[in-house]
């Protein structure tokens, strides 16, 4: 998993270029672009969240029992916002979105410490596992050549997004400069567009701290959501 | 492009409302919150490699209160502070004996948590004594 993350981070730009090239070839063939591809939508999603915390940089002499803070599961959250779907002059599909996310994350700690002979299995840090973020995402959409493209459209989606914590960070989470607010994510997913009336989507987001932190954190999220055109609502 | 600018301005505006950061007292406040309103019972002590157990018997205990006061099983009462000095976390206790004699006791915090604490008592000579506390 660590190797995959390193490869993903190192070659992110290269992968983006590859997909952009593929997308431009794909877009050239999609000459019958439908103008319902453009427009503002509102969306809502259910999310499953997990964070991996590495407290290697904590120097404060604090102990939290590992069994009471470690919870390596995906917990449910939700997000909502609005997005703009567009088609560029080169017939490339894209979307820009803005969301508020309520994240409730299972937390897995990579390090377990022992202080012989009396303290066993503890961590030096306790991460906030519930917080609210604002996110901005820019996604490149690749139209997939499947049947009935006049009615239904399938897209592969990828692109970066940025999350910024707006909820109060607990004092435990601020220890030793660990209270980073900004996360950058790489998003990958699929979307189903039903004649421009609504779209269903599934995204995976892999995120990490933007700046160096004494507690590097990796955020894993799955989103299942739906968007509806604003003009159909109002 | 206009839409991207709109989104970025909206995001930036909302982030202005999100501001709390670490201060010089964050670490001591967190450690203090773990100590206070609890009675800590001495379970073990280690001096020069020799471990002494007090589990299951009448033992020394100390209570740290939220108002900064302290009282222990030896009858000492007074006040305490949690301080960070030269990278070391310490508990400074200013107490008076039952006879009214003032006394200062300083402990180095080896590790403090919600239910377990390890302190090292400073001594004028020899190796410090490690003290292991739990609250019940």
Place of tokens 């102990």: A63
Nearest CA in chain A to B53: A118
Q: Which of these, A37, A96, A46, A98, lies nearest to A75 by C-alpha position? A: A46
* Domain total of chain A: 1
Please tell me the distance in Å from B101's CA to the nearest CA on chain A. 32
Phi, psi angles (nearest 5°) of residue B32: -65, -40
**pLDDT tens digits along A211-232:** 888 899 999 999 999 999 888 7
Any CB–CB contact under 8 A between B34 and chain A?
A: yes
A62 is written with which tokens? Answer: 């604090």
Peptide bond into B13 cis (omega under 30): no
From chain B, pick out residues whose CB is under 8 angstroms from the CB of A177. 22
Work out the mean pLDDT of chain A and round it to a whole number.
85
Q: How many angstroms separate the CA atoms of A225 and A66, rounded?
A: 34
Res A142: pLDDT: 94
More confident residue, A18 or A206: A206
From chain A, pick out residues whose CB is under 8 angstroms from the CB of B31. 60-62
Average pLDDT value for residue range B83-87? 91
Which CATH number do you get for residue A181? 2.40.160.20
More confident residue, A185 or A116: A185
Tell me, rounded to whole angstroms, the distance of Cα A180 from its chain centroid: 16
Cβ–Cβ < 8 Å for A182, A163:
yes
Cβ–Cβ < 8 Å for A49, A71:
no
Question: Is the model's pLDDT at B46 over the cut of 80?
Answer: yes
Contact: A136, B11; criterion CB under 8 Å = yes
Q: Which domains, ranges and CATH numbers included, belong to chain B?
A: 25-135 (2.40.128.540)
DSSP structure class, residue A179: -
Question: Is the model's pLDDT at A169 over the cut of 70?
Answer: yes
Cβ–Cβ < 8 Å for A194, A144:
no
**pLDDT tens digits along A6-47:** 554 545 444 544 444 444 334 333 344 444 568 899 999 999
A56 is written with which tokens? Answer: 């290697």
DSSP structure class, residue A168: P
Contact: B34, A62; criterion CB under 8 Å = yes
B17 is written with which tokens? Answer: 């409302």
The partner residue sitting opposite B111, judged by closest CB among A63, A98, A136, is A63
Average pLDDT value for residue range A118-126? 92
Cβ–Cβ < 8 Å for A71, A107:
yes
Tell me, rounded to whole angstroms, the distance of Cα B50 from its chain centroid: 25
Res A17: pLDDT: 45
What distances in angstroms separate CA B85 from CA A56, B111, B125, one per listed residue? Answer: 22, 15, 21
CB atoms inside a 10 Å sphere around CB B102: 9
Any CB–CB contact under 8 A between B99 and chain A?
A: no
What letters, b where the CB count within 10 A reaches 16 and e where it falls short, cover A92-117?
Answer: bbbbbbbbebbbebbbbbeeebebee
Give the residue numbers spanning the domain of A9.
Answer: 2-233
Res A31: pLDDT: 41
The partner residue sitting opposite A96, judged by closest CB among B4, B21, B27, is B4
CB atoms inside a 10 Å sphere around CB B125: 4
Long-range CB contact pairs, B3-12, < 8 A, 24+: B3/A84, B3/A86, B3/A96, B4/A96, B4/A138, B7/A84, B7/A96, B7/A97, B7/A98, B7/A136, B8/A136, B10/A98, B11/A98, B11/A134, B11/A136, B11/A164
Please tell me the distance in Å from A144's CA to the nearest CA on chain B. 25
Work out the mean pLDDT of chain B and round it to a whole number.
85
Res A178: pLDDT: 81
pTM of the model: 0.79
Question: Is the model's pLDDT at A51 over the cut of 60?
Answer: yes
Percentage of residues in chain B having pLDDT higher than 90: 54
Contact: B21, A179; criterion CB under 8 Å = yes
Collapsing DSSP to helix, strand or coil, A193 comes out as strand
The partner residue sitting opposite B26, judged by closest CB among A138, A164, A171, is A171
Contact: A60, B31; criterion CB under 8 Å = yes
**pLDDT tens digits along A105-114:** 999 999 999 9
β-pairing verdict for A39-53 and A93-109 = parallel
Contact: A174, B20; criterion CB under 8 Å = yes
């Amino acid at each position: 998993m660590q190797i995959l993350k390193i490869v993903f981070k190192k070659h992110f730009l290269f992968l983006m270029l590859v997909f952009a090239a593929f997308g431009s070839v794909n877009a050239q063939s999609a000459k019958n672009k439908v103008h319902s591809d453009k427009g503002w939508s509102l969306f809502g999603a259910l999310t499953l969240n997990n964070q991996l915390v590495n407290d290697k940089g904590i120097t404060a002499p604090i102990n939290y029992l590992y069994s009471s803070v470690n919870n390596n599961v995906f917990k449910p959250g939700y997000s909502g916002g609005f997005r703009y779907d567009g088609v560029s002059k080169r017939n490339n599909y894209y979307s820009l979105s803005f969301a508020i996310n309520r994240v409730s994350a299972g937390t897995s700690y990579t390090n377990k410490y022992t202080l012989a002979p009396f303290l066993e299995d503890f961590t030096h840090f306790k991460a906030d596992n519930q917080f609210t973020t604002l996110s901005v995402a820019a996604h490149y959409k690749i139209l997939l050549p499947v049947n009935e493209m006049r009615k239904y459209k399938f897209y592969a989606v990828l692109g970066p997004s940025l999350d910024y914590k707006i909820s109060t960070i607990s004092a435990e989470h601020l220890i030793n400069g660990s209270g980073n607010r900004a996360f950058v994510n790489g998003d990958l997913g699929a979307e189903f567009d039903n004649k421009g009336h609504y779209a269903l989507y599934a995204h995976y987001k892999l995120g990490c701290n933007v700046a160096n932190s004494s507690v590097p954190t990796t955020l894993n999220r799955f989103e299942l959501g739906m968007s509806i055109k604003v003009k159909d609502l109002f | 492009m206009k839409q991207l600018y709109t989104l970025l301005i909206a995001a930036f505006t909302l982030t202005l409302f999100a501001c709390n950061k670490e201060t010089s007292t964050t670490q001591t406040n967190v450690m203090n919150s773990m100590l206070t309103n609890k009675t800590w019972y001495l379970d073990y002590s280690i001096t020069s490699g020799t471990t002494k157990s007090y589990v299951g018997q009448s033992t020394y205990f100390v209570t740290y209160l939220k108002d900064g006061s302290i009282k222990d099983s030896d009858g000492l009462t007074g006040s305490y502070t949690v301080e960070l000095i030269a990278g070391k976390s310490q508990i400074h206790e200013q107490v008076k004996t039952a006879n009214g004699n003032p006394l200062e006791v300083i402990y180095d915090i080896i590790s403090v948590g919600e239910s377990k604490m390890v302190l090292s008592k400073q001594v004028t000579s020899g190796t410090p004594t490690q003290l292991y506390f739990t609250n019940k």
